[in-house]
Amino acid sequence: MAETTHDLRSLPRDDAYALLDEQLRHVLAGIDDRVAAMATIASLVHHGFGHLWTGFYQVVEPGRLLRVGPYQGTLGCLEIPFGQGVCGTAATRRQTVIVRDVQAFDGHIVCDPRARSEIVIPVFDSRGVLIAVLDVDSGEVATFGEVDADGLERIVSWFSGIPGNGAEGQ
């Protein structure tokens, strides 16, 4: 039977991420294509939780520039320099950033004015090279916490099974 998108909103958050991780690894079995994986993850996370915007910004100039990749939601801004906004901050720090209230985050980049809270997860390849960040936006304040960081970090650890091509560097 074909896989379909599950609505995860009725589940405890850690159970939802465990189910999502299991489904993703099943759907992506035998695939070593980053864009296919990013598109699949964006779709399942976005619709599973009913988020406002879910997607990837890929590193196109290491240490300097992120560019929008596969996503679900309204129009995302195209490019974000490292160090700017929540995405650029997570990329520079190479750490997950949770923003409880985007209006209180100095330098938050507004793509959709309905966004109220946000989480950004760094994505690494098997050599530990930063290849992207996963950005998830919510229309409610304080949507994301440690359980989301743990769950989403586990999901993007899929990319650490994909070798780098030597063209990227941090």
Q: What residues line the site for ligand SME (CB under 6 A)?
A: 53, 76-77, 80, 85-87, 108-109, 111, 115, 118, 135, 137
Residue 122 Cβ vs ligand SME, minimum distance, rounded to whole Å: 13
Q: What is the DSSP letter of 75?
A: P
Residue 77 Cβ vs ligand SME, minimum distance, rounded to whole Å: 6
**Cβ nearer to ligand SME, comparing 125 with 135:** 135
**Cβ nearer to ligand SME, comparing 41 with 86:** 86
The tokens describing 69, both together, are 């990749």
* CB environment 14-31: b (16+ within 10 A), e (fewer): eebbeebbebbeebbeee
Residue 102 Cβ vs ligand SME, minimum distance, rounded to whole Å: 7
Please choose, from the candidates 70, 132, 149, 79, the residue with its C-alpha nearest in 3D space to the C-alpha of residue 109.
79
Residue number with the shortest CB distance to ligand SME?
85
Contact 122, 133 (CB under 8 A): yes
Q: What is the DSSP letter of 111?
A: S
**Cβ nearer to ligand SME, comparing 57 with 159:** 57
Residue 60 Cβ vs ligand SME, minimum distance, rounded to whole Å: 15
The tokens describing 169, both together, are 């560097």
The tokens describing 95, both together, are 């750490």
**Cβ nearer to ligand SME, comparing 23 with 51:** 51
